[in-house]
Amino acid sequence: MNAQQQQTGHYAPVNGLNLYYEIHGSGRPLVLLHGGGSTIETTYGRILPQLAKTHQVIAIELQAHGHTKDIDRPLSFEQDADDVAALLKLLKIQKADIMGFSNGGTTSLQIAIRHPQLVNKLVLASATYKRSGMQSGFFDGFNNATADMLPKPLKDAFLKANPDPKGLQAMFERDVARMVAFKDISDTAIKLIAAPALVINGDAEVVRTEHALELSHTLQHAQLAILPGGHGDYIGEVCSPDKNTKMPELVIVMIEEFLRK
């Protein structure tokens, strides 16, 4: 753990977990939820410092990810949502903006469904709520998946946070099992979400642009942004091929505009 994390990193006893979270900046609370196989740093390293200039950023590492060690219970988006809600209660935060990327976006939807009183606004980045939202063949890839297939930047970041290779294997197995078991969230449940939402998607990524459009139409109050690039390229996610892209700066402005209104 570096000096920055020692100052900002904390653990909270939440639903049997020792849940790791960081607090950066000040202002209205903004919760950041990472993608599958990821950490705070790999998903949000590029944009978190900017967001922390205008918000109290609460960035969380969910069960089996990064600094938060796995425990003996299944991984689900619903459970992750309940863990986030429990942490906010512990921190005495009554309402927050929630931003989730990829799996974190699905968790954000579950927070809005299960704990609507906690949610001010939603930023849903490459979020999925139906199996049909993923590119054709996506779910077939899990049949013979091994941890070796995890991109090296994600592996390295996990082992930096938790040097135990068994932890890496546990995270991989949890994420695979969750995706294999993933069931659609009903349109009815999505339609009941009253919080304003900003839906963001890449035009050449694993989440279909048609799905992002469908999500934005099904939500009561949503805006949609389709941006050039792959999964998370627009926020400078660690696996993005272009490290010098200015796209994250544009996205920060969009997010700030949306949250400010």
Q: What share of the chain is helix, strand, coil (3-state, %, to 5)?
A: 45, 20, 35
100: part of which helix (H) or strand (E)?
Answer: strand 96-101
Position 3 scores a pLDDT of 47
Instruction: Please give the structure tokens belonging to residue 221.
Output: 């109050």
- Cα–Cα distance for residue pair 125/136, rounded to 1 Å: 20
Burial class (CB in 10 A: 0-12, 13-18, 19+), 124: buried
Sheet holding 96-101, edge to edge: 9-14, 17-24, 55-61, 28-33, 96-101, 119-125, 197-202, 222-227
Which of the residues in the chain have pLDDT under 70?
1-7
Length of the chain: 261
Position 4 scores a pLDDT of 53
Contact 58, 85 (CB under 8 A): no
Q: What are phi and psi of 126, to 5 degrees?
A: 50, 50
Contact 190, 129 (CB under 8 A): yes
Position 6 scores a pLDDT of 54
Q: Which CATH superfamily is domain 3-260 in?
A: Alpha/Beta hydrolase fold, catalytic domain (3.40.50.1820)
Domain boundaries, the chain: 3-260
C-alpha 88 chain-centroid distance: 16
C-alpha 115 chain-centroid distance: 17
Position 8 scores a pLDDT of 78
Burial class (CB in 10 A: 0-12, 13-18, 19+), 28: middle
Position 1 scores a pLDDT of 45
Position 78 scores a pLDDT of 98
- Cα–Cα distance for residue pair 235/45, rounded to 1 Å: 9
Burial class (CB in 10 A: 0-12, 13-18, 19+), 143: exposed
